[in-house]
Amino acid sequence: MSGSGRPIRHLSPSRPPTVPYAGRLPGGVRVDPLAEDRLGEGAPDGTGTLIVPMHADQRLLARHAEWLGRFFAAGGTMVFNGLLAYPFHPALRRFRPIDRPRLEDLRVAIAADHPLYAGVEAADLTFRRGVAGFYGRGENPPPPGARILATLGPEAVPVDWLWHPPEGGRLLMHAGNDLWMQAGDDTTAARLLPNLLAWAEAGERVA
Distance separating alpha carbons of residues 80 and 11, to the nearest angstrom: 10
What confidence score (pLDDT) does residue 203 get?
78
Q: Is 164 exposed, middle or buried (0-12, 13-18, 19+ CB in 10 A)?
A: middle
Rounded to a whole number of angstroms, the distance between the first and last alpha carbons of the chain is: 17
Length of the chain: 207
Residues in CB range of 7: below 8 A, 6 or more apart: 1, 30, 32, 46, 47, 48, 49
What confidence score (pLDDT) does residue 207 get?
67
The candidate with the shortest Cα–Cα distance to 85, out of 54, 43, 64, is 54
> What stretches in the chain show pLDDT beneath 50?
none
Distance separating alpha carbons of residues 64 and 88, to the nearest angstrom: 8
Give per-residue pLDDT as tens, 118-143: 999 999 999 998 899 999 999 999 99
What confidence score (pLDDT) does residue 158 get?
98
What confidence score (pLDDT) does residue 152 get?
98
What confidence score (pLDDT) does residue 59 get?
97
SS3 167: coil
What confidence score (pLDDT) does residue 5 get?
77
Domains (ranges, CATH) in the chain? 8-205 (3.40.50)
What confidence score (pLDDT) does residue 206 get?
62
Distance separating alpha carbons of residues 47 and 134, to the nearest angstrom: 30
